[in-house]
Amino acid sequence: MVSKILVSACLMGHAVRYDGRAKPLVHPAIGRWMQEGRLVTICPEMSAGMPVPRPPAEIADAAGGEDVLAGKARVMELTGGDVTDEFLQAADDAVRLAVANGCRYALLIDGSPSCGSGFIYDGSFSGNRRAGSGVTAAALRQAGVEVFSDRDIDRLVEQIGRTD
């Protein structure tokens, strides 16, 4: 059976990021996976009804996605708006889509308070990065989906080569 991959829509060239842009990932595996029907695309925030563009958001107080899922942290916009509920809905939407489509893997844009899997920002809106996961990445991991950042696509290619 061919393993499916849940992929951030911005990596596929969709202009869905908070700033209204895309961040297309150029890699030979992307075209091959598209032809093989492996890719399932989602923008978690848009699935939860958030607009494009939207104010920048970060997980407050240097917390991580796991803390948000546990009810111990909030996701806040630069403007002061609390978007925790939207990010929890986004994570739930992504998990449901991954499960419904049999996605064993996820390829997500790093740095996002939703999709970040290697690093996120510290909640100060000062550009300070820290190791950690966004809310969707953490929820997918809890659901048993292996999560890879856009910077780790070669590791994902290797993993699929070993399992398929």
Q: What is the pLDDT of residue 98?
A: 98
Mean pLDDT of the chain: 96
pLDDT score recorded for residue 11: 97
The predicted pLDDT at position 164 comes to 76
Distance CA 112, CA 118 (A): 10
**Nearest by Cα to 75 from 45, 49, 118:** 45
User: Per-residue pLDDT for 162 more than 90?
Assistant: no
Domain ranges of the chain: 4-163
CA distance 3 to 104: 6
**Does residue 83 carry a pLDDT above 90?**
yes
Q: Which long-range contacts (CB under 8 A, 24 or more apart) does 119-126 make?
A: 120/58, 120/59, 120/64, 120/65, 121/58, 121/59, 122/58, 122/62, 123/58, 123/59, 123/60, 123/61, 123/62, 123/63, 123/76, 124/58, 124/62, 125/56, 125/58, 125/78
What's the pLDDT at 161? 86
Q: What is the pLDDT of residue 111?
A: 96
Q: What pLDDT shows up at residue 99? A: 97
pLDDT tens-digit series, residues 104-128: 999 999 999 999 999 999 999 999 9
pLDDT bucket at 2, cuts 50 / 70 / 90: confident
Please report the sign of the dihedral spanned by the C-alpha atoms of residue 121, residue 124, residue 127, residue 128: negative
